[in-house]
Structure 1
Amino acid sequence: MDSYNIVFRADASRETGSGHIKRTLIIADELSNDTSLNISFICIDLADLYKKEIIEKGYKIFEISKINEADQVINILKKIGADVLISDTDVPLYYEEDFQKKVTSICKLVSITFYSNQKFYSHIIHNQNIRAKSLQYDCMSYTIKLLGLNYLILNQDFREIEKVKKNENQNNLTILLSFGGADSRNFTVKSLKAIHSLKDIINELIIVVGGLYDNFEELKGLIQQSDINISLYKNTPKMAELMANSDIAITSGGLTSWELASLNVNNIIIPTSERESVTAKYLEEKFKLWCIFNESNINYKLPKLIEKCYDDRSNLENPLRNEVNKDGVELFCNEIKKLLKIS
């Protein structure tokens, strides 16, 4: 049987968050169902917890430095005989024309991206953002574009679980609060402080922080002082289950927006980055999702939105619920196999 070498380029850090590495791990797990595919990762300063996860899954890691990254990547691709490089990174190098040309002279190039304002030599462009179809891409005649939520990369847990039907005797809200793997702006604590007085309408507040979160002790101290029934999770594998059991979620947007939509759980978005803000503005305008864009407004606006959810608790639905395809990762991986001419 022929074998093929698939190489991912992704990182996870307090600066970039964990979204890139989590998405590529979902893809890697789906591809690994085909025993003819050998999977490797190229990473820079990868956090230990993700390094451990990659190794435990049986994938190989090539750790490189930021200095002369291009040469290191090209050498690895040549050394292992790479068939496909799947890039999921914002590092500018991967959008440079000369570097893309070097990669495509060695193997197929797949670009997982949020951007469209550069020239792509990629064989596949993947952008699962809801805005992706409205953007113009300067790419090659051979480039396959996988755009929008039809190609959503969802963890297997979200593909299998359904939203939990609420107990008719439970009137108060179950709220999920989560700002991703790092939450470098500490919106978890700021949001908790903003809603601390709403104990009479909150059945349970589920707080989830990632493995890169730096303010865990401060958060635990606030939880101990709170009158709200709070459950705290760190880097939990039960995210899909926790979301499915919630009436509403408070998040920064990003991937969690699509995960929540797949479960029909409504979402209050407080974006923590420019990228998340761009998407949140689109969702607010087109789908009437609730968003808070100014950090200084969290204390005032967040309690008001929670109270609004409580008043309308019998009709809470996610406006994006019909936009997502839970099987998007299968479609994506099928296109990778087509590149390799695997039926």
Structure 2
Amino acid sequence: MKQTGKTIVFRADASLQMGTGHVMRCLTLADTLTASGAGCHFICRAHDGNLAAFIRQRGYQVHLLELVPGVPAQANPLAHAAWLGASMMQDAAETAALLSHLKPDWLVVDHYALDARWETPQRRHVARLMVIDDLADRQHDCDLLLDQNLGRTDADYVARVPAYCTCLLGPNYALLRPEFAALRPYSLQRRQKGALRTLLITMGGVDKDNATGHVLQALSGSSLPLDCRITVVMGATAPWLNEVTTLAETLPWPVDVQVNVSNMAQLMADADLAIGAAGSTSWERCCLGLPSIVICLAENQRFITNQLKQCGAALVLEPPNNENFPHQLSIALNSLVTQQVFLQDMSFSARNISAGNGTSLIVKTII
């Protein structure tokens, strides 16, 4: 391995409220940086549902910040302030104290509750600063910004970052693990028939509102072929895991509930259709040309779902906690079963969005 001598620190959180996506995509970047010879550390706060143990299992040192109860709302006016678990200034001070000892070449920040007011105090302790964002809703003080969402343009950030900041925008820079690009040829080749025999359901690593259970219940009114095989993927911290496992046993189709999978790319490549949440996993599905029914579970996913719908890369449904959801899902599935050309059309649209090599492009920029 070529040693770069660079030290990279990530500031990202996971919790039952925010899910696991921010930490998981940072881990993807950390793995590729480590393979390039860099040393990576994580700074996380001890939220319920944090992934500190999982990050350590992946071989990284985690510096865990304690939760601070009773933080007044005005201490952080950002839309996702409640996700931080401390005031922004306290988080900034605690992080700076760690950085003063680690002296990283790069600090990578992936957190909706942090902005330039947090980033600027870190400057004295880091050589360069990278921000991963999806929202384009706040100011940043950074050298490099990544927003991997479809439809993002320079105009979204020109007034939100310094003039010298390099912006990497769009799904061509999506942080995907290398196995997605490796399986892309196989996945695209097997979609030429457009049949629907395997269904993959992935509603996020936490799924605190049990969207997975709502989807499984709604399947009973659909015309899925009886020989269809269903795979459900959930995280170990998902609060509804036991209920979903019990419900899966009552369905007329064979349902395999898998937890904390390490072969998500293979599961997606082998699936004919996915029902899933929006977010970073959208670009994984696009890389593999996997047709999708995407369910918008939060307002901050609205931009992604609208872009996927406009491109014809997915069918989009509203959250499953409404009485019309079973009917809407049944209509969507029935159309895909009876007119399988729709699956092929979605696959062609999706595969043009991301080729899956974004992580390597970002690492080249950093290293």
Query: What is the TM-score when the length of structure 1 is the normalising length?
Result: 0.90
Matching residue's letter, 1:175: L
RMSD: 2.2
Equivalents in 2 of 1:2, 1:243: separation in Å? 34
Residue aligning to 1:178:
202
Equivalents in 1 of 2:110, 2:30: separation in Å? 12
Residue aligning to 2:34:
32
Task: Give yes or no for contact 2:108–2:129 (8 Å, CA) kept in 1.
Answer: yes
Structure 2 matches for 1:99-110, cutoff 5 A?
A: 99-107=118-126, 108-110=128-130
Query: Displacement of 1:288 after TM fit?
Result: 6.2
Residue 251 (structure 2) aligned to one of 215, 219, 226 = 226
Q: After superposition, what is the alpha-carbon deviation per residue over 1:90-149, rounded to whole angstroms, capped at 9, x for unaligned?
A: 12xx3033x322212321110000122332220001000112226233221210101101
Query: Displacement of 1:183 after TM fit?
Result: 0.8
Task: Give yes or no for contact 2:234–2:259 (8 Å, CA) kept in 1.
Answer: yes
Query: Displacement of 1:208 after TM fit?
Result: 1.0
Structure 2 matches for 1:292-331, cutoff 5 A?
A: 292-295=317-320, 296=322, 297-314=324-341, 316-317=343-344, 318=347, 319-331=349-361
Matching residue's letter, 1:106: H
Query: Displacement of 1:247 after TM fit?
Result: 1.0
More deviation, 159-168/305-314: 159-168
Matched, 1:142 2:164: yes
Matching residue's letter, 1:54: I
Residue 237 (structure 2) aligned to one of 204, 209, 212 = 212
Q: Report the CA distance shift for 1:187/1:181 in structure 2 as closer, same or farther (over 3 A).
A: same
Matching residue's letter, 1:192: L
Task: Give yes or no for contact 2:13–2:23 (8 Å, CA) kept in 1.
Answer: yes
Equivalents in 1 of 2:249, 2:172: separation in Å? 42
Equivalents in 2 of 1:171, 1:328: separation in Å? 30
Q: After superposition, what is the alpha-carbon deviation per residue over 1:5-50, rounded to whole angstroms, capped at 9, x for unaligned?
A: 2100111111110101100000000000122x22100000166783
Q: Report the CA distance shift for 1:59/1:47 in structure 2 as closer, same or farther (over 3 A).
A: farther
Matching residue's letter, 2:139: K
Percent identical pairs in the alignment equals 24
Task: Give yes or no for contact 1:41–1:60 (8 Å, CA) kept in 2.
Answer: yes
Structure 1 residue runs of 5 or longer lacking an equivalent are: 338-343
Task: Give yes or no for contact 1:13–1:212 (8 Å, CA) kept in 2.
Answer: no
Matching residue's letter, 2:44: C
Task: Give yes or no for contact 2:200–2:273 (8 Å, CA) kept in 1.
Answer: yes
Equivalents in 2 of 1:101, 1:12: separation in Å? 23
Equivalents in 2 of 1:320, 1:200: separation in Å? 23
Structure 2 matches for 1:227-306, cutoff 5 A?
A: 227-287=252-312, 289-295=314-320, 296=322, 297-306=324-333
Residue 160 (structure 1) aligned to one of 151, 175, 182 = 182
Secondary structure, counterpart of 1:268 in structure 2: strand
Structure 2 matches for 1:50-61, cutoff 5 A?
A: 50-61=51-62
More deviation, 200-209/175-184: 200-209
Query: Displacement of 1:166 after TM fit?
Result: 6.3
Task: Give yes or no for contact 1:277–1:293 (8 Å, CA) kept in 2.
Answer: no
Q: Report the CA distance shift for 1:132/1:157 in structure 2 as closer, same or farther (over 3 A).
A: same
Matched, 1:70 2:82: no
Q: After superposition, what is the alpha-carbon deviation per residue over 1:133-179, rounded to whole angstroms, capped at 9, x for unaligned?
A: 262332212101011011111012212113162697x9653111110
Q: Report the CA distance shift for 1:249/1:327 in structure 2 as closer, same or farther (over 3 A).
A: same
Structure 2 residue runs of 5 or longer lacking an equivalent are: 67-84
> Following superposition, which runs of at least 4 residues in structure 1 exceed 4 angstroms of deviation?
46-49
Task: Give yes or no for contact 1:199–1:227 (8 Å, CA) kept in 2.
Answer: no
Residue aligning to 1:85:
107
Q: After superposition, what is the alpha-carbon deviation per residue over 1:231-265, rounded to whole angstroms, capped at 9, x for unaligned?
A: 11111112111111111110111122111111111
Query: Displacement of 1:328 after TM fit?
Result: 0.6
Query: Displacement of 1:282 after TM fit?
Result: 2.7
Equivalents in 2 of 1:21, 1:336: separation in Å? 19
Residue aligning to 1:332:
362
Residue aligning to 2:115:
95
Query: Displacement of 1:182 after TM fit?
Result: 0.7
Equivalents in 1 of 2:218, 2:283: separation in Å? 25
Q: Report the CA distance shift for 1:226/1:241 in structure 2 as closer, same or farther (over 3 A).
A: same
Matched, 1:117 2:137: yes
Equivalents in 2 of 1:41, 1:253: separation in Å? 25
Q: Report the CA distance shift for 1:167/1:117 in structure 2 as closer, same or farther (over 3 A).
A: closer
Task: Give yes or no for contact 2:230–2:254 (8 Å, CA) kept in 1.
Answer: yes
Matching residue's letter, 1:276: Q
